[in-house]
Amino acid sequence: MNKKLFLASLMLTAVTGAFAQNMTAKQQYAADSKRATQRYNDDKRLCADAGSSSARMQCLRDAKTEYNTALAVAKQNMSSRPVAAPANARNEPVCPDCGKVVAVAVVDKEGEGGALGVIAGGVAGALLGNQVGGGTGRDLATIAGAAGGALAGHKIEQKVKTTKVWNVTVAFDNGNKQTYSFDHDPGLLSGDAVRSSGNSVVRR
């Protein structure tokens, strides 16, 4: 093939080759076939400028060989071209620990009553019971007052130590659902995107 034919082929390939990256396999094959045909037609026109009939015939044979080679390469590229992943699969990496908040509930949690409340309540109840009646009746009232006071003191201490708890329920992308408890406001609302972090969740 003469120099003009070779240069024209290189220029055509450089200009059109950049468009191949974003095409499917069939689109790429169609584009390659069209480009090969166009180059073949251009080559035949260039061959007409050959100085002799023998040079012209050789030029046409070379052009035909190049055309057939280009088609064969296009078919091979179509069969070996990997299937592109869907756009959303490329843009959204897999996150097995990701999910969304589906509920946030604030509840009161009673504190643990300790010995202090029991003792203080028992003493107060015993003193009050000791003021009732006399003799055996006073003794019974003192005992009853101590028992009742102890129970009341325990309950009062529980109420005094009551705290608020934020229960956050998360539905994970893998289908699991779990509730996490916080002793402070985590700042999460229903619909927030989160991911698990240890025994808790954090905002994504």
Phi, psi of 107 (to 5 degrees): -130, 160
**Predicted pLDDT at 44:** 84
Average pLDDT over residues 162-166: 87
Among 25-29, 149-153, 186-190, whose mean pLDDT is lowest? Answer: 149-153
Domain extent listing, the chain: 3-80, 98-203
Average pLDDT over residues 85-108: 76
What mean pLDDT, rounded, does the chain reach?
73
Render pLDDT for 9-50 as a digit per residue (tens, 0 to 9): 555 555 455 444 556 778 888 888 888 898 888 888 888 887
Render pLDDT for 109-144 as a digit per residue (tens, 0 to 9): 775 655 655 465 555 555 554 565 555 655 555 565
**Predicted pLDDT at 33:** 86
96 vs 120 pLDDT, higher one: 96
**Predicted pLDDT at 60:** 86
**Predicted pLDDT at 15:** 47
**Predicted pLDDT at 20:** 47
Q: Taking 70 as the threshold, does the pLDDT of residue 188 lie above it? A: yes
Average pLDDT over residues 48-58: 83
**Predicted pLDDT at 146:** 54
Among 71-75, 78-82, 87-91, whose mean pLDDT is lowest? Answer: 87-91
Q: Taking 90 as the threshold, does the pLDDT of residue 108 lie above it? A: no
